[in-house]
Amino acid sequence: MPSAPFAVASSPHILTGNSIRRLMFSVVIALAPATVLAVVFFGVPALRTILFTLAFCLLFEAVLGTRTSDGLSWKEVVGDGSGAVTGLLLALNLPPDSPWWVAAVGALVAIGLGKHVFGGLGRNPFNPALVARVVLVIAFPVQMPAWRAPFQPVDGVTAATALGVLKADGATAAASQFPLWNLYSGQVPGCLGEVSALALLAGGIFLLARRVISWHIPVAYLGSVAAVTGILWIVDPGRFASPLVHLGAGGLMLGAWYMATDLVTSPLTRKGMLIFGAGCGAITCVIRLAGSYPEGVSFAILVMNALTPLIDKWTHPVPAGRRVPRPETA
Partner 1 sequence: MSLSPPSSPKGPPERSRRRRTFPRGGIDVREHKERTAHLPVETIPPPAEVVIPMAQHFGVPCEPVVQRGETVRKGQLIGSTPAPFAADVHASVAGKVKAVGPHVHPSGFLVESVTIETEPAGETEPALPPVDPGDRAAVLRRIREMGVVGMGGAGFPTAVKLNPPGNKPIDTLLLNGAECEPYLTADHRLMVEDAPRVLEGLRVMRTVLGNPRAVIAVEDNKPDAADALAELVGDDPSIELLVLKTRYPQGAERQLIESVLGRTVPSGGLPMDVGVDVQNVGTAAAVADAVLRGRPLIERVLTVSGDGVRQPKNLRVPIGALYGDLMEHCGGMTEDASRVIMGGPMMGKAQPTVHVPVTKGTSGILVLTPRTARPYRELRCVRCGECLRVCPQGLVPTELAVLAEREQFAALTEIMDCVECGACNYACPANRQLVQWIRFGKVEYRNLQKKKRHA
Can you give the binding site for partner 1, defined by CB under 8 A? 1-20, 22-23, 69, 72, 76, 80, 82, 120-123, 263-264, 266-270, 316-328, 330
Closest separation in Å from C-beta 134 to partner 1:
22
Q: Which is nearer to partner 1, 2 or 153 (CB)?
A: 2
**Residue 122's CB: how many other CB atoms inside 10 A?**
11
Q: Which is nearer to partner 1, 204 or 243 (CB)?
A: 204
**Assign residue 251 a region: left if phi > 0, alpha if psi is -120 to 50, beta otherwise?**
alpha
As a residue count, the chain comes to 330
Q: Residue 142 is which amino acid?
A: V
Closest separation in Å from C-beta 158 to partner 1:
38
Q: Which is nearer to partner 1, 156 or 319 (CB)?
A: 319
Do 99 and 53 contact (CB within 8 A), yes or no? no
CA distance from start to end of the chain? 52
Q: Which is nearer to partner 1, 15 or 138 (CB)?
A: 15
Gap between the Cα atoms of 37 and 326, Å rounded: 60
Closest separation in Å from C-beta 119 to partner 1:
8
Closest separation in Å from C-beta 265 to partner 1:
8
Closest separation in Å from C-beta 309 to partner 1:
10
Closest separation in Å from C-beta 53 to partner 1:
22
Gap between the Cα atoms of 91 and 170, Å rounded: 29
Gap between the Cα atoms of 322 and 330, Å rounded: 19
Q: Which of 103, 77, 99 is nearest to 88 (CA)?
A: 103
Q: Which is nearer to partner 1, 265 or 298 (CB)?
A: 265
Do 87 and 107 contact (CB within 8 A), yes or no? yes
Q: Which is nearer to partner 1, 8 or 290 (CB)?
A: 8
